[in-house]
Amino acid sequence: MKRIFAATGAGLAAAVFLASAVAAAEITIGLGADVTSMDPHYHTLSPNNNIATHVFGTLIDQDEMQKLKPGLAESWRIIDDSTWEFKLRRGVKFHDGSDFTADDVVATLARVPAVPNSPAAFTIYTKSIAGVSVVDPHTMIVKTAGPYPLLPTDLSNIFIISQKQAKAATEDFNAGKAMNGTGPFKFASWARGDRINLVRNDGYWGPKPAWDKVTFKLITNDPSRVAALLAGDLNAIEIVPTADMAKLKTNKDINIFRVVSNRIIFFHLDTDRDVSPFVTDKQGKPLDRNPLKDLRVRKALSKALNRPGIVDRVMEGEAIPAGQLLPDGFYGTSPNLKPEAYDVEGARKLLAEAGYPQGFAITIHGPNNRYVNDEKIVQAAAQMFARIGVDAKVETMPSNVFFTRANKLEFSFMLVGWGSGTGEVSSPLRSLLATFDAARGMGTANRGRYSNKQMDALLDQALATVDDAKREKLLQQASEVAINNLGIIPLHYQVNSWATRKGVMYVPRTDENTLALEFKPRS
Amino acid sequence: MTAPDTALEPALAAKPQTPFQRFLADFFDSKIATAGLVVLAIILFVAIFAPWISPQNPYDLSKLDIMDGRLEPGTKSMDGKPFLLGTDDQGRDMLSAIFYGLRTSLAVGVTASFCAMILGMTMGLTAAYFGGLVETIIMRIVDIQLSFPSILIALILLAVLGQGVDKIIIALIAVQWAYYARTTRGTALVERRKEYIEAAQCLALGDRRVVFRHLFPNCLPPIIVVNTVLIANAIALEATLSFLGLGLPITEPSLGLLIANGFTYLLSGKYWISFFPGVALLFTIVSINLVGDQLRDVLNPRLQK
Amino acid sequence: MTGGSDAPTLVVENLRTHFFTRAGVVKAVDDVSFTVTKGRILGLVGESGSGKSITGFSIIGLVDPPGRVVEGRILFQGRDLASLAENEARKLRGSRIAMIFQDPMMTLNPVLRIDTQMIEAVQAHEPVDRETARQRARDALGKVGIPSPDERLKAYPHQFSGGMRQRVAIATALLHRPELIICDEPTTALDVTIQGQILYEMQKLCRDSGTALIWITHDLSVIAGLADEVCVMYAGRIVEAGTVDEVLDRPLHPYTLGLIGSVPSRNVRGRPLAQIPGMTPSLLSLPPGCAFRTRCERADAACMEAPAITLPLANRPIRCVHPNLAASS
Amino acid sequence: MNPPVPMLELRQVSKRFVKRLDTAAKLGNFFGAGMREEVVHAVDKVSLAINPGEVVGLVGESGCGKSTLGRIVAGIHQANEGERLWHGRVIADMPAAEARATELKIQMIFQDPFASLNPRMRVADIIGEAPVVHGMVKLDEFDDYLDQTMRRVGLDPGFKRRYPHQFSGGQRARIGIARALAVKPEFLVCDEAVAALDVSIQAQVLNLFMKLRADLSLTYLFISHDLGVVEHLSDRVVIMYLGRVVEIAPADDLFRGPNHPYAQALLAEVPRLETRRRRFEPVKGEIPSPLDPPTGCHFHPRCPHATERCKREAPVLREIAPQRWSACHLNDAT
Amino acid sequence: MPVYFIRRMMQSVLVLFVMSLLVFVGVFAIGNPIDILISPEADQHEIERATRALGLDKPLWEQYGLFVVNALKGDLGRSFVFNIPAIDLILQRMPATMELAITATFMGVLLGIPLGMWAGLRPESFSGKLIMSGSILGFSLPTFWVGLMLIMIFAVFLGWLPSTGRGQTREFLGVHLSILTWDGLRHLAMPAFNLALFKLSLVIRLARAGTREAILQDYVKFARAKGVSSRRIIGVHVFKNIMIPIVTVLGLELGSTIAFAVVTETVFAWPGMGKLIIDSINLLDRPVIVAYLMVIVFMFIFINLVVDLLYSVLDPRVRISESKG
C-alpha cells in the first residue's frame, strides 16, 4: 500500500529504487540512545562504542556472551606477571587500503590519553599499561605496572585507528575524514541526532557482512521506535520497550531476540553512617541508630522483595531475578548464590529480631530516566516494604540530579544499576562494593560506602592474580562474602532485546551492542 | 416643568438585577457554555471529594498490589474488588487514580494560576498606578519574561528546583504571573482614564480608596477571563512537563503523569492506562475553556449592551 | 407633501422594518411613508431610537440581521427596491443611491489607501481600468474641496482629519453621480466650523447636480438651514411632515412642539426650557396606542388607539388625534 | 471701588502634556537621530476669574483645551504653571485639610453618562460614598440625606439600590449631578454635561441646572461646544482656540457682535432654527494639530484678516471694552 | 527607526545577560556534569582530569567571567558531551526545527484563516459552531497525546505516512531541508500538523473574532453602500483587517512554536534543537544550554523585528514608532 502511494507521487523513480534496494542488501536499524561523537577515543559511552565497533577493530573482540575472542590480535600470551605478548593478524587492511601493523596499535594507545576535553576518557582501559614495544610489525609486547589480569578485557574496549590518524582531532572523526578503521563497515555519513549511514567494507578480514548499506536511525522515544518498526520504516530496533513486548511477541511480522544482559538492577544502601538522612521512625523522627547497618534488617528488606512479581508485572518478564552481581555463567559468578526468596513472614520476624517489630520509615531514591522502568521498580519496592511494616516513601528524579546527589551521599536507600562492560565480576566488585578509596579507583561507585575487610582482601588478591582459574575462585569467594552480607540488595538482571521485521535474524548480545554484522537475512 | 421624573423605563424597572445576576443570565444564555459549566462542576465535585468517593487511595503505596497491575477495565482484583477502568502497572485503580489525578491537576492549575494572579495583579496595578521608574522596571521584567517561551522557562526552572507539587506550582507561577501583570496594567491604564476615576479624584477620595474601591473591581473582568484560560493552560503545561519527565512525583500522579505513564502502553493495546486520564484531561480543559470563552463574551464590554 | 414639480426620485410607502431579537420584536420602523424629489433635501428628524437611521438603511438595503424589511414599498424612480434581488440591489447601491455615515473616523477602512477604496467603488459599477478609475477618484476629491488630490489619494485614512475623511466619503458617494444620497448624521461628529464646510459642500452639490438628499439628523437647527421638507419621527413612526417652514413655525404635533421648545436658542436666555417630560420609551415595550401618550400633556382616552396619519391641513400629514391646530393659525 | 474678589481665579495657568524621550531615544540622538519630545500645550497661559453666582460658558472646538482647563479648575489636573485661587487665596498654599475642603467645594459634572459612573457601584454608594468618607453626614442621617439629594436632582430614591446600567442616559446624568451635589459644592464645572443627551432630555437637564443654581446659589463653569446651550445659560462667555483664550465677553454682547475673527466665524457657523435655507459660507481650513500649532496668532492661517504681524506675534488678551477682552491685533489698529 | 533598533538592542543585551547568568547558576544548582558523563569506574585522578578538561574546577564566577569574555569574542563554548562548539551543534540542528515550526505556522495560517473567517461570517450556523468546537479541542488537547494518536492512526494502522524521523533531505543554500524531497515532505507532514494544531486553533479564533468584529464596522457597511461585492469586502476589507492581529500574534507565537517543538520532536524523533535542549539538560551540557538560549533570544529579537516591520506594512496607522508604545 505504501509503495503504491509513493509511486503516485513525484519522487517516483527514487522511491521505487529505494524500495527495491531495501529488499536487496540494506538494513535500517533504530537505535534507542543518541551517539555523541564519532571519535572512538573521545567518550566511553555505549552508543558511541557501538558505532565504533562497526568501523574500527579491537585487538580482542567480545562475543555475544562477552567472552573474549581474537580480533586484530590473533593470539596473546602471558610472558610473566606483568608482560604480555600479542600476535597481530596479518593481511588486515584499513578502509583506505593501508596495512594494519603494530605501529597502528602504538599510535592508538598514544592517542587515547591525548584526546582533549574528554568528559570520560578511555584512559580507564589503558592506565595499567606501563610500556609497549614493537617486536616486528605483527608482534608486540605490552608491559603493565604490576600483575594485571584484566589487560585483555581492557584492550577489548580500545578501538584501533590507523597511525595516519594519530594526530586527528575529534572534529576530523565527526566529519568522517578520519573514520579509517579495519571494521566490517565503512563510515558514509552522520546526520547528528538523526542517522548514521555505513557501507560494507568488502576487504573486511572476518565474515562478510550481509548488508551493503546500513542506516542507524536514532529514535530515543520508545513508542516512536516501536511504531517505526511496526510501520515498516525500520528493519530492526534495539531496546524493545517492555510495555510493548507482549504485543510484539504476538505479531507475526515481528521477531524478538532476547538475552540476559550484564546489567544488574539493585538497591544500594547506606551501611556506613550511624544516622542516615532518610531513615526515620514512622513519625518522621530520626532514629538513634541506622537500621541499615544491621544485617538482619537488610536481610528482611531483601526477603520482602517479590522479585518474580517485579519481573512479571513491572518488567513484563523482560528481566531475571538476581542473586548476585552478574547472571550465572559470567566469569567470577558464584554458583552458590541464588535470588532471595519472597518471604514476608520471615522478613517480619527478622525485623522484630533486629528490634523493629513496628518497622520504620525510609525514603527510596531512584532515577526516572536511566534504567528500564526505574521509576516503577522503586514504587513496586515501596509497596512491598509497606507489607512488612516499613513505610517507604518514593522520590525519583532525572538522572542528572540523581547521580550528583547520590555521589554526594545524600541518600540512604537508592535504586541503581550496573552494567559490566568487561563481562566479569571484578568490575562491579571493585566499583560498587570495595571500600571507597578514590586514589586507587576502588569503590568509585560505592554510594552506600559498604566496607568489608574480608571482601577487600579477596578482591585485591584476585586483581593481582593472573591465573584465570585461581582468579575466578577468588572472585567467587569475594562475591559470596559481599552478597551474603548484603552490601547491595540485588533485584534483577535486565534482559536485552531486539525486535526485527520478519526475515531478519539477530544474535542477541549481553553487552547491549547492536551490531549490523550480526543481523542476518533468514536464508 | 421641572418636576422630578420618577418613571423608570418599564423594561428596566421590571428586572432589578445586580450586575452579577445580569452576568448569570447572560452566561446561561449559551447552551454549550452551560454544559461546560455543568461538566466543570462535576469535575470539581469529583476533585474535591476524591478521598471519599474513590474506591481506593491510589497515593498510598501500601494499598496497591503490583500483582493487580495492568488489569483490563472491569476485571476484578485478587481479593475481588472490581476495577471499573482497569489498573495501571502498579496495580492502581484507574478510576481512583483519575479522581485523585483530577484533584492534583486542578489543585496545581488553580493554585498556580491564583498565586500568579495575585502576584501579577499586584505588580500590574503597582506599575499602572505609580508609573515612572517602578512601572519601567516591572514592565521590562514582564517584557523579558513574555519574550521567552513558557515551556523553556518551566523546563529549566524544574530542572533546577527538582520535583514536587510545590516545585511545579512555583514553576507555573513564574511562567504565568507576567500575563496577569500585563493584562492588569493594560486594563488599569484604560480604566484609569475613565471619567469615574476622575470623579472619584474630584471628590477628594484617598488614593488607596480610588485604587481598591474604584479601579480594582473594574479591572477584574478581563483578569477573570485570563484566569480561566491560564488555569487550563497551567493544567495542560503541567501535563506536558510530566510527559517530559519533569514535574510531579510518580507516587502522586496528576492526569498528565497518568497519561505519560500509560503512554508507553498505548501501542501494546493497554489503552486504558493512558486513554481514560486523557479523556478526563480533555473534559477538564475543554470545559474550562468553554466557560472561559463564554465569560469572555459576557464580560466583553464591546459585545455588551 | 411634495413641494417640487419633478417626478419624485424616491417614494417610500408604509415601510416597516422589524428586528427579531431574543427579547422580542423591535419595530424600529413602523409604517413610514414619504417622498423625495429631485434636487431637494428631505430632513428626517428624531431622537435616538426613533428609527430614522434604520429608515435610511432600509432604503439602501443594508439592514443587518436580525433586522428585516417586513412590509412596504420603496419606489426608486419607479422600481421597488424592497423586492429587488441582492445582486440587483448591489448594482444600485453606490451608483444610483449613495449613503454617507455618521462617524467619519469609522467609515473608511483604516488599512486601505484612499485610492484603493475609491477605485473599487468606481470599478464596482463600471468596467473601467484602474487609471481611468483613479482619474475619476481624483476629480471627485477635487470637487469636494480636497487640496492636492493626487497626493491625498495615496494616503491612508488616518492621515486625514475627521472633516477631510467625511469629504472623502462624500467624494466616494459622488463618483457615479447618484440620484439620491442618504446622509446619516454626517456632521454630528464634526466641529462647528467643519460642519459648516460640509453643509456648504452638500448644499452646492444638491443645487448643482439636482441630486435628491435625505438628511437624517437629531438637530433641528441643521434641518432649518438646510432642508426643504422635514419628517419628524418618534418611536419608529413619522409623527409629522411638511415643509421646513410649516413644521418649524407651526408645529401641529405635541412632540414636535416640545422638541422645538427644547432648543435653547429658541428660548429666552436663562428661562426654563419648554421641555418634554419623561423619557424616550424602549421600542421593546411601547405603550399601546399613541407612543407619545405617556409624555403628552394632551393625552386622553382617545390616545389609547394608535392614531393614523391624517391631513388636518393641506399637505400637513400628522399622526395625532389632538393636533395643535391653534398654533398653526 | 475695588472690584469684588472673584470666587475662583486662574492666573497664567499652563498645562503641557509631554511625551519624554527614553534612554534609547537619547542614545539615538547622540548618534544624530534627531528625536524631539512631543509637547502638547493643552492650556497656554490662561487667566480667568469667575465671580460668585456667575455662570461662565467656556466655548471652543475639539482640541482647544477647554476640557483640560475645566479639569484644572476642578483640581483633577495640576497645572504646570500658574496659580489657582479660591476667594483670593492660592489653593496650593493652603494647609492640607483646608485645601481638601476647598477641592470639595469645586465639583465637576462629566460628559459621558456611561463612563463617568462606576459600573460596579450602586447608586447609593456612588452618591453617598464621598459624604460618608469625608464625614459630612452621620450614618444615621445618611438615608435621609441620600433621599434628599436624589430627590433634588429628580431621581426616585426608591432606585438607590440599583446600578448605573439600569438607568437611561438622562437619569445617569442626574446621578452624576447628585454625586457632585452630595458634597455640598459651591462651584460646579460642567464639562459638556448635556452633549451626549437627546434634545428633549437635554432640555430637562439644562432646566435642572438652572433650578439648582437658583436653589443652592451655585456658580458654574459651563464647558460646551454647543453655542446655543452656552448662550442660553451663561452670563459671560470665554472662547478658546488651540489652548489660548481669544475672547471673553458678557453673553449678550458676544452674541450681538463678536470681536475676535474666530469668534465671528464660530458664531456665523452655528445653525439656528430661525435661519432657513441659508447659504453656508464656511471659514476656510482645518483646525491645526495642537502638537504643531501655527506661529504667532494660532488662528492666522484661517483668518480672513491675517497680516504679517499675525504670523510672527501672538496677540495678548486685552480689555477692549468694559468686561470685554479679546486677543487680536486688529484691535490695535483702531 | 534607528532609535527603535537601539531600544531593541538594549533590551536584548539585558535579556541575554540575565538568561546566561540564570543558566550558569541554574546548571550549577542542578548537579555536576562530571557525575553524569564520566564512566562510573573512573578513579579520582580521572575525575579530576575531566573536571579540569571541562573547566569546572574554577569557581563559578570565574567560569561565568570567562564565558562572558569568550561570548563577546563570539565563542559560546564547546559542548561537554560532543566536544564541538556549542553554537555549531545548534546551528546544525536549527534547520530541522525551523522547517518544522515554519511549516506548522503556514499550515495554521492556510487552514485557520479560511475556517476562522467562515465561522466568523456564519457564527450561528452548524459549520461555524463545528469549527469553533474543533478549535477548542485543538486548544485543549495536549500536544504529545495528539502526536501519538497521529502516529497510531496514520503510520501504524493506515500506513500512509512514515511514523518518525526526518526523511530524506536536500541541500539548499548550504542548509539541509526535507521540504525539498517527497520523502522529506511525507516525514514532515505529521509532526508539522501536530505542532500546527495549536496555532490552527489560535488562528481560527483570531480570524473568527476579527471577522465578527470587522463585519460590524462602519467601513464594511460603507463598502456595501458603495456597491462593492461581498467577495471583495470579505477578501480585501475584512481580510486585511484581521491579518493585523493574526500576524502579530503568530509572529510572537513562532517563538513558542519553536520552543514547543521540544514536545513534538520528542514524540516524532525529529532531530531538531528541541530534542537537543532536552538531552542537554539531562546531561547538564551547560554550553549547549546557554548557546541554545542565546540562539532563541536572538531569534526572538529577529522575529519581533520582522513582526514589527510587517505590522507597519499591514497597519498603516502604526509607524515603527519612534516613541514608546
What pairs with residue A217 in β-bridges? A30, A195
Give the pLDDT confidence score for residue A155 in this predicted structure: 93
Show Cβ contacts of residue A395 under 8 Å, excluding neighbours closer than 6 positions.
A363, A364, A365, A366, B163, B249
Contact E254, E303 (CB under 8 A): yes
Contact C90, C120 (CB under 8 A): no
Give the pLDDT confidence score for residue D274 in this predicted structure: 78
Give the pLDDT confidence score for residue A413 in this predicted structure: 95
Q: What CA–CA distance (Å, rounded) separates E98 from E296? A: 11
Residue of A nearest to E85 (CA): A171
Amino acid at the residue C166: Q
Q: What is the CATH number of the domain that holds D329?
A: 3.40.50.300
Contact D15, D75 (CB under 8 A): no
Domains of chain C, CATH where assigned: 8-96+177-277 (3.40.50.300), 111-175 (no CATH)
The three cell numbers of residue D240 are 478658546
The single residue listed with the C-alpha cell 431637494 is C40
Contact A216, A29 (CB under 8 A): yes
Q: What CA–CA distance (Å, rounded) separates A175 from A120? A: 21
* Inter-chain contacts counted by CB atoms under 8 A, chains D and E: 27
pLDDT reading at A201 higher than 60: yes
Whether the upstream peptide bond of residue A339 has omega within 30° of 0, thus cis, is no
CATH of domain A56-168: 3.90.76.10
Smallest Cβ–Cβ distance between E2 and the set D19, D22, D28 belongs to D28
What pairs with residue A263 in β-bridges? A419
Give the pLDDT confidence score for residue B4 in this predicted structure: 37
Q: What CA–CA distance (Å, rounded) separates A326 from A472? A: 13
Show Cβ contacts of residue A141 under 8 Å, excluding neighbours closer than 6 positions.
A79, A83, A84, A85, A86, A132, A133, A135
Q: Which chains touch D (3 or more CB pairs under 8 A)?
A: B, C, E
Report the CATH superfamily, name and number, of domain A263-493. Answer: Dipeptide-binding Protein; Domain 3 (3.10.105.10)
Q: Does B140 touch chain E (CB under 8 A)?
A: yes
- Strand, coil or helix: D132: helix
Average model confidence (pLDDT) across chain C: 84
| Structural element, H or E, at residue A362 | strand A361-367
State percent of chain A over pLDDT 70. 95
CB neighbours of residue B136 within 10 Å: 14
* Higher local confidence (pLDDT), D31 or E32: E32
- Strand, coil or helix: A347: helix
Smallest Cβ–Cβ distance between B66 and the set A230, A380, A398 belongs to A380
Q: Do at least 3 CB pairs under 8 Å connect A with D?
A: no
Q: What CA–CA distance (Å, rounded) separates A362 from A393? A: 6
Q: Looking at A123-270, which runs of residues are DSSP E strands?
A: 129-136, 139-144, 159-160, 185-191, 195-200, 213-218, 236-238, 254-269
Which residues in D lie closer than 8 A to residue C262 (C-beta atoms)? 199-200, 202-203
Digit-coded pLDDT (tens) for D282-293: 777 778 888 888
Q: Which chains touch C (3 or more CB pairs under 8 A)?
A: B, D, E
Contact criterion met (CB < 8 Å) for E7 and D22:
yes
Distance from CA of E170 to the nearest CA of B (A): 30
User: What Rg value do the Cα atoms of chain D yield, rounded?
Assistant: 22
Q: What CA–CA distance (Å, rounded) separates C317 from C76? A: 22
Contact criterion met (CB < 8 Å) for D76 and B201:
yes
pLDDT band for position C174 (cuts 50, 70, 90): confident
Q: Does D308 touch chain C (CB under 8 A)?
A: no
Alpha helices (runs of H) in D134-168, residue ranges in sequence order: 142-152
Digit-coded pLDDT (tens) for B127-158: 887 777 888 888 888 877 776 777 778 877 88
Contact criterion met (CB < 8 Å) for D116 and B195:
yes
Q: Looking at B120-165, which runs of residues are DSSP E strands?
A: none
Residue A281 DSSP symbol: -
* Higher local confidence (pLDDT), D208 or B7: D208
pLDDT reading at A86 higher than 80: yes
For residue D280, give its domain range: 8-28+37-105+185-333
Give me the numbers of helices (H) and strands (E) for chain C, helices first please.
11, 12
Contact criterion met (CB < 8 Å) for D24 and E322:
no
Q: Do at least 3 CB pairs under 8 Å connect E with C?
A: yes
Contact criterion met (CB < 8 Å) for D19 and E6:
no
pLDDT reading at D248 higher than 50: yes
Contact A325, A333 (CB under 8 A): yes
240-299 in chain E: CB under 8 A from chain A? 266-269, 271, 275-276, 279, 281-284
Q: Does A53 touch chain B (CB under 8 A)?
A: no
Q: How far is CA A101 from CA A79, A123, A159, D262, E293, in A?
A: 21, 22, 14, 107, 48
Digit-coded pLDDT (tens) for B150-189: 777 887 788 777 778 888 899 899 888 988 898 888 888 8
22-61 in chain E: CB under 8 A from chain A? 30-47, 49-50, 53-54
Which residues in E lie closer than 8 A to residue A217 (C-beta atoms)? 165, 269
pLDDT reading at D33 higher than 50: yes
Digit-coded pLDDT (tens) for B195-204: 888 888 888 8
Amino acid at the residue D29: N
The three cell numbers of residue A180 are 579509517
The three cell numbers of residue A489 are 540488595
Q: What CA–CA distance (Å, rounded) separates A441 from A435? A: 10
Digit-coded pLDDT (tens) for E263-318: 888 888 788 888 788 888 878 888 888 888 888 877 877 887 788 777 777 777 76
Contact criterion met (CB < 8 Å) for C225 and D210:
no
Average model confidence (pLDDT) across chain E: 82
Smallest Cβ–Cβ distance between B263 and the set E148, E277, E304 belongs to E148
Phi–psi pair at A484, nearest 5 degrees: -65, -30
Q: What CA–CA distance (Å, rounded) separates A41 from A34? A: 17
Contact criterion met (CB < 8 Å) for D273 and C261:
no
Give the pLDDT confidence score for residue D163 in this predicted structure: 84
- What pTM, to 2 d.p., does this model score? 0.80
Distance from CA of B150 to the nearest CA of D (A): 28
- Does the residue D300 lie in any domain? yes
The three cell numbers of residue A214 are 546500513
Contact criterion met (CB < 8 Å) for E262 and B293:
no
pLDDT reading at A111 higher than 80: yes
pLDDT band for position A3 (cuts 50, 70, 90): very low
Domains of chain E, CATH where assigned: 1-81+285-325 (no CATH), 88-282 (1.10.3720.10)
Give the pLDDT confidence score for residue B122 in this predicted structure: 87
Smallest Cβ–Cβ distance between E323 and the set D19, D23, D27 belongs to D19
Amino acid at the residue A402: F
Alpha helices (runs of H) in A305-410, residue ranges in sequence order: 307-309, 344-353, 374-387, 399-407
Give the pLDDT confidence score for residue C78 in this predicted structure: 83
Q: What CA–CA distance (Å, rounded) separates E257 from E273? A: 12
Give A91: exposed, middle or buried? Use CB within 10 Å, 0-12, 13-18, 19+: exposed
Residue of E nearest to B269 (CA): E152
pLDDT reading at B302 higher than 60: no
* Higher local confidence (pLDDT), D313 or C279: D313
pLDDT band for position D250 (cuts 50, 70, 90): very high
Instruction: Summarize the confidence of residues E155-163 as an average pLDDT.
Output: 78
Contact criterion met (CB < 8 Å) for A227 and E163:
yes
Distance from CA of C86 to the nearest CA of D (A): 35
pLDDT reading at B244 higher than 70: yes
Q: Which of B254, B251, B293, B304 is nearest to B277 (CA)?
A: B254
Contact criterion met (CB < 8 Å) for E323 and D24:
no
Q: Which chains touch B (3 or more CB pairs under 8 A)?
A: A, C, D, E
Task: Tell me the domain boundaries of chain B.
Answer: 31-48+93-303
CB neighbours of residue E165 within 10 Å: 23
CATH class of segment(s) B31-48+93-303:
mainly alpha
Digit-coded pLDDT (tens) for C208-253: 888 889 999 988 888 888 888 999 999 888 999 998 888 888 888 8
Give the pLDDT confidence score for residue E225 in this predicted structure: 87
Q: What CA–CA distance (Å, rounded) separates B129 from B188? A: 8
Residue B63 DSSP symbol: G
The three cell numbers of residue C52 are 430614522
Q: Does C65 touch chain D (CB under 8 A)?
A: no
Q: Which of A266, A267, A285, A286 is nearest to A276 (CA)?
A: A286
Give C210: exposed, middle or buried? Use CB within 10 Å, 0-12, 13-18, 19+: middle
Give the pLDDT confidence score for residue B13 in this predicted structure: 41
Which residues in D lie closer than 8 A to residue B2 (C-beta atoms)? 154, 204, 207-208, 211
User: What Rg value do the Cα atoms of chain E yield, rounded?
Assistant: 24
Q: What CA–CA distance (Å, rounded) separates D174 from D155? A: 7
Smallest Cβ–Cβ distance between A392 and the set B61, B70, B266 belongs to B61
Sheet holding C67-76, edge to edge: C24-37, C8-21, C67-76, C79-80
Phi–psi pair at D10, nearest 5 degrees: -110, 135
Contact criterion met (CB < 8 Å) for C269 and D202:
no
Q: Do at least 3 CB pairs under 8 Å connect C with A?
A: no
DSSP string for B159-200: HHH-SSHHHHHHHHHHHHHHHHHHHHHHHHHHHHTSHHHHHH
* Residue of B43, B137, B142, B147 for testing the chain E interface, max E β-carbons within 10 Å: B147
Give the pLDDT confidence score for residue D197 in this predicted structure: 84
pLDDT reading at A176 higher than 80: yes
Contact criterion met (CB < 8 Å) for C224 and D207:
no
Digit-coded pLDDT (tens) for E178-228: 777 787 888 888 999 998 988 898 899 889 888 888 888 888 888 888 888
- Strand, coil or helix: A442: strand
User: What Rg value do the Cα atoms of chain A yield, rounded?
Assistant: 25
Q: Would you say the ipTM is above 0.85? A: no
State percent of chain A over pLDDT 90. 61
Contact criterion met (CB < 8 Å) for B7 and C294:
yes
Contact criterion met (CB < 8 Å) for D24 and E7:
yes
Torsion from C-alpha of C51, C53, C54, C60, nearest 10 degrees: 150
Digit-coded pLDDT (tens) for A20-47: 444 458 999 999 888 889 999 998 888 9
Which residues in D lie closer than 8 A to residue B218 (C-beta atoms)? 118-120
Q: Do at least 3 CB pairs under 8 Å connect B with C?
A: yes
Which of A346-360, C74-88, C132-146, E143-157 comes out lowest in average pLDDT?
E143-157
**How many structural domains comprise chain D?**
1
CA atoms within 13 A on the CB side of C160: 29
Show Cβ contacts of residue E203 under 8 Å, excluding neighbours closer than 6 positions.
E108, E109, E111, E112, E113, E116, E246, E250
Contact D49, D6 (CB under 8 A): yes
CA atoms within 13 A on the CB side of A244: 27
Q: Does C147 touch chain B (CB under 8 A)?
A: no
Residue C325 DSSP symbol: G
Which residues in E lie closer than 8 A to residue A9 (C-beta atoms)? 182
Smallest Cβ–Cβ distance between A400 and the set E148, E151, E282 belongs to E282
Distance from CA of B260 to the nearest CA of E (A): 9
Distance from CA of B3 to the nearest CA of C (A): 8
Give the pLDDT confidence score for residue A2 in this predicted structure: 37
State percent of chain E over pLDDT 70. 97
Give the pLDDT confidence score for residue C177 in this predicted structure: 86
Contact criterion met (CB < 8 Å) for B10 and C282:
yes
148-177 in chain D: CB under 8 A from chain C? 168, 170-171
Instruction: Summarize the confidence of residues D262-281 as an average pLDDT.
Output: 80
- Does the residue D150 lie in any domain? no
| CA terminus-to-terminus distance, chain E | 14
**Is the backbone of residue D163 left (phi > 0), alpha (psi -120 to 50) or beta?**
beta
- Strand, coil or helix: E223: helix
Q: Does E266 touch chain B (CB under 8 A)?
A: yes
Show Cβ contacts of residue A113 under 8 Å, excluding neighbours closer than 6 positions.
A121, A123, A126
